[in-house]
Structure 1
Amino acid sequence: MKNQRINLLQIAGVLTVFAALIHIGCIVFGGDWYRFLGAGEQMAQMAESGHSYPTTVTSIISAVLLLWATYAFSGAGLIIKLPLVRLGLALISVVLLARALGFYFIMPAFPDNSLTFWLISSGICLLLGLTYALGLKQRWHLISGKA
């Protein structure tokens, strides 16, 4: 039997799609989901009152996550090669790791978010960032810089 290595970019893509779906769940199911996921009472109340802000912010986050997942699947060799895939995956890794390790510095900008939210979301970002970074390292030689 052929020894196959786990494709970490494929795992990163699946996890990122899952994160996007959770965010979309907040839009669909409203305030209770925002509360459960630790986004803060203000976001939950705005969602319940029909304010567009939570939907807009959460839609943008979901779209970015789905774009990142597409880049992961491209780097994993599961879909067509996207432009600047190596650079894109490197930047995604950096953003996720910076978010994971720098949460303390952005906490004051979002005072409504719970400490539990910051710890769990930062842990998830750390896991994802490492998965993207190690997946890129694993497949670097297979992701050609050519079209």
Structure 2
Amino acid sequence: MNSDSNKYLVTAALCCVVAALAHVGCIVFGADWYRFFGAGEEMAQMAEQGLWYPAIVTSVIVLILLICALYGLSGAGVIKRLPLTRLALVVIAGIFIFRGVSFVGLIPMFPENSLTFWLISSGICLFIGGLFAIGSLQQWSKLGSKNA
């Protein structure tokens, strides 16, 4: 890793990769993993029945997390600059932070998810969003170039 790399954005990217791998584990290992991570009994039962819905939803989450990781690495200068990096990092930080603080309003929409799931996942989202926000602020002037 380049010594000039933004450690906050690199850490945010690594957190996204770890989260993506945990979601892949749910797809691969099935209902027990969905239950362990608090995704709700309905998702676990659908996975047990071999329905495609849990795998599709979880795959979309994996894809989004990996895109976030790529933008984090791009913003940190570890990989080539991606299109709209500056905008993407602001949006990513905002979404993670919004998800972290809005869980109370989301709980009624997903009653199968456990309170433990909401508290832990919201804390993780706030942490990752904070990393993206701090890292983006630190890189702001570098990201403002014509390729940002």
TM-score, normalised by the number of residues in structure 1? 0.95
What is aligned with 1:108?
108
Question: What's the CA shift for 1:28?
Answer: 0.3
What is aligned with 1:82?
82
**1:85 is aligned with what amino acid?**
T
Of stretches 24-33 and 4-13 in structure 1, the one that deviates more from structure 2 is: 4-13
**1:61 is aligned with what amino acid?**
I
Within 5 Å, give how 1:46-57 maps onto structure 2: 46-57=46-57
For the residues of structure 2 that align with 1:120 and 1:47, how far apart are their CA atoms? 22
Q: 1:14 to 1:53 in 2, by over 3 A?
A: same
* Number of residue-to-residue matches in the alignment: 145
For the residues of structure 2 that align with 1:39 and 1:92, how far apart are their CA atoms? 22
**1:121 is aligned with what amino acid?**
S
Within 5 Å, give how 1:120-131 maps onto structure 2: 120-131=120-131
TM-score, normalised by the number of residues in structure 2? 0.94
For the residues of structure 2 that align with 1:145 and 1:55, how far apart are their CA atoms? 39
What is aligned with 1:21?
21
For the residues of structure 1 that align with 2:102 and 2:50, how far apart are their CA atoms? 32
For the residues of structure 1 that align with 2:67 and 2:74, how far apart are their CA atoms? 11
Contact 2:6-2:139 at 8 Å conserved across structures: no
> What percentage of aligned pairs have identical amino acids?
52
| Offset from partner CA, 1:59-97 (integer Å, 9 cap, x none) | 000000000000000000011101110100000011001
What is aligned with 1:65?
65
Question: What's the CA shift for 1:139?
Answer: 1.2
Runs of 5+ consecutive residues of structure 2 not aligned to the other structure: none
Question: What's the CA shift for 1:105?
Answer: 0.5
Question: What's the CA shift for 1:138?
Answer: 1.1
Q: 1:63 to 1:107 in 2, by over 3 A?
A: same
Contact 2:5-2:78 at 8 Å conserved across structures: no
For the residues of structure 2 that align with 1:145 and 1:65, how far apart are their CA atoms? 25
For the residues of structure 1 that align with 2:127 and 2:26, how far apart are their CA atoms? 22
